[in-house]
Structure 1
Amino acid sequence: MTTTSTPRYSAQALNTFARGLLTAVGMPGDKAQAVADILGEGDLLGHTTHGLQLLPSYLKEVESGSMRVDGAPEVIHEAPAALTWNGRRLPGPWLVLEAMKAATAKAKQYGTGTVVIRQSHHIACLAAFHERATAQGLMLILASSDANSASVAPYGGLDPVFTPNPISVGIPTSGKPIVTDISTSATTNGLTNRLHAEGGKLPAPWLIDGQGQPSDDPAVLFREPKGTILPLGGLDSGHKGYGLSLTVEALTGGLAGFGRADPKQGWGATVFLQVIDPAAFAGTTDFVRQMDEVARQCRASRPAQPGKGVRLPGEKGYRLADQQRERGVTLHLGIMDALQPWAEKLKVSVPVAT
């Protein structure tokens, strides 16, 4: 059907479609539902490089056996407030949701609960996990790295060492949570790969080419000598992003005991997840009172651009998610085209655009 408007899809229909594809390729229902939920939440929040765009790759990984689907993580070590898992390359979104349950139980008993996961598969959009914790009045810190690849150079270097190494934090308030989701690099692999395929450019010179010259062209990452993504802060203050990247490496690969010192095993993730219960500190009421006041002061700050007020991290995404649940989800161009062959192969009905 030809339409002049941007196609939209029911969020529930997309969820059913994603779950159907995953179960058809062999993923058990509980894991398929967890993956479908987190990918769908990514698109709802506007993180379109980490929503259903990932699904064709996930399906390929399941089909090849690189993403395992059966069984549970292996416990490597457990202490009262800490737990280390071998994720056995099980689906990352499901592993993180299971780790949140384990960390939450520890946090409610000890004030904090930390789970680190080695050999997880890819975990999708970090921001998609937080509201499950903040709805319980809990704070969640989540970080991820992937020792299988390197696309981000250390500050002052040309050769890549890190992945974008995101870190995110969900902070409860009396209303919607504050959610930061920050790559410790100037941009992400998902965006540079998409723009390279589309022949597009980045908004700013967030890359350096193979000779160390700043560039906004993702093509420099794919031609010899290959360029790299700059650390957060770029050429001027990238030492800050570099420091954060190293911090994420310590929280993930360091604590999990598996990372860049080990043989590569394929696309995946090493994960740090910590749940904090404010009730074990000065109390939930005072925590929310303080964060509400910080939020109020941020919003009250005079806007640098007239008519464009200060937003809190995550606010735009939650507003968009509410709109898309009501009006339908707008997928980035090409996502449904990439899923169409899988739908035909696996005999799963494609949702109808509105």
Structure 2
Amino acid sequence: MQQDRITVSEAELRQLGVRAFQGLGLTEGDAIDVIDILVLADLFGLSTHGLSRIESYGERLQSGGISARPTITVERAAPALVKVDGGNAVGPLAGMKALRAAMEVAEEFGIGMAFVRGSNHFGPVSPYSYIAAEAGFASMIGSNATTTIAPWGGSDARLGNSPLGFGVPGHDGRHFLLDMAMSVAARAKIRNALKAGQSIPDSWATDAQGRRTTDPKAALDGFLLPIGGHKGYGLALMVDLFAGLLSDAAYLTHVKSWVDAPDQPQNLGHFFILVDTRRLGSAQWLAARMQDFAAILHGSAPAEPGKPVIVPGEIELDKLARQREKGIAMDPAVKALLDRHANAKTN
């Protein structure tokens, strides 16, 4: 519940998070990379993908399913193409290494791409898009995931709820940030409906036999439905082709479930495509066009009073500004777990 949350400053949370991941075996530099992504997720209000991930990441680090001291390699496969082997690192660490590599080649050639293999869950996409946008890069970023979606017309899980995101630098830091997964609804929403004794729309999931259901329990035993029906199914496949197959990572059912096999590497894959917008025109040119772009959308009269048109990233950036000023609202249990790992720091 929101009223049960505690408020922690960004600086305090960053320091605590770094110490906690050091307690789990990471070097200070690697822990900082992980925290850069997870704290941004919390600042954006994406608490399910922020430092609450210390629980699942920590369990896999302690069981050996994730390497605390990975050997990450970066190979230039072509002038503007980079291949990154994450060495079974914590996902945000591999993600940050790849983002920097893609930014480096994009700055050199105007466009750059990094393929990542040997990684794990890398958090939400929007923090990476935000970091890229702050540096003047437009981005398209994706990752594959553990299987939770059945093929269109199928009756068992064969593909993941693979996230895809886009970012374009906006006027005065108001970047456009789209971050979406491929299912109509997250499993967390279905679990919440089950706890509340409520039914769910039949567009959210199927039962174990692949039939649409309004029963949240049956849905949790079944499969998530993709956005846009067969179109979402196709989009999820394309993300996995880029993130998994082309990167030489695992793909589809080859991806290990960290629930069923927590001590085994997932070998997830990601891709980062970056465009240096400074090659297209001046910062003032882009800012003016982006300001006009947003104004056209905001100028549409709301269909419902009090619910104005918003653009992708607006909600997250508003939360970022508010929480940077007033502190980050977080679950006390997450704070306690961070404290426990931080106090176990030995390196």
TM-score by structure 2 length? 0.87
Amino acid across the alignment from 2:326: R
Alignment of 1:47-58 (within 5 A): 47-58=46-57
- Note if contact 2:191-2:216 (Cα within 8 Å) is conserved in structure 1: no
CA distance in 2, matches of 1:220, 1:128: 34
- Per-residue CA shift, 1:18-43, capped at 9, x if unaligned? 21111112110011112122111111
Distance 1:156 1:22, change over 3 A: same
> What is the number of residues matched between the two proteins?
334
1:210 corresponds in structure 2 to: 208
Alignment of 1:43-82 (within 5 A): 43-75=42-74, 78-82=77-81
- Per-residue CA shift, 1:26-69, capped at 9, x if unaligned? 11001111212211111111111101221111111221222112
Distance 1:202 1:255, change over 3 A: farther
Structure 2 counterpart of 1:254, from 245, 256, 259: 245
Distance 1:200 1:29, change over 3 A: farther
CA distance in 2, matches of 1:342, 1:44: 17
- Note if contact 1:42-1:125 (Cα within 8 Å) is conserved in structure 2: yes
1:352 corresponds in structure 2 to: none
Give the match's secondary structure for 1:122.
coil
Cα-Cα RMSD: 2.7
CA distance in 2, matches of 1:11, 1:249: 34
CA distance in 1, matches of 2:289, 2:200: 36
CA distance in 1, matches of 2:49, 2:200: 19
Distance 1:200 1:284, change over 3 A: farther
Distance 1:193 1:305, change over 3 A: closer
2:14 corresponds in structure 1 to: 15
CA distance in 1, matches of 2:266, 2:335: 20
2:234 corresponds in structure 1 to: 243
Structure 2: which 5+ runs fail to align?
A: 257-263
Give the match's secondary structure for 2:171.
coil
- Note if contact 2:74-2:83 (Cα within 8 Å) is conserved in structure 1: yes
Structure 2 counterpart of 1:232, from 227, 233, 238: 227
- C-alpha displacement at 1:193, in angstroms? 7.6
- Per-residue CA shift, 1:45-97, capped at 9, x if unaligned? 11111012211111112212221122442346611010112211112112222
Q: Does 1:336 align with 2:332?
A: yes
- Note if contact 2:227-2:233 (Cα within 8 Å) is conserved in structure 1: yes
- Note if contact 2:20-2:341 (Cα within 8 Å) is conserved in structure 1: no
TM-score by structure 1 length? 0.85
2:177 corresponds in structure 1 to: 179
* Identical columns (%): 27
Structure 1: which 5+ runs fail to align?
A: 350-354
1:165 corresponds in structure 2 to: 162
1:129 corresponds in structure 2 to: 128
Distance 1:101 1:260, change over 3 A: closer
2:260 corresponds in structure 1 to: none
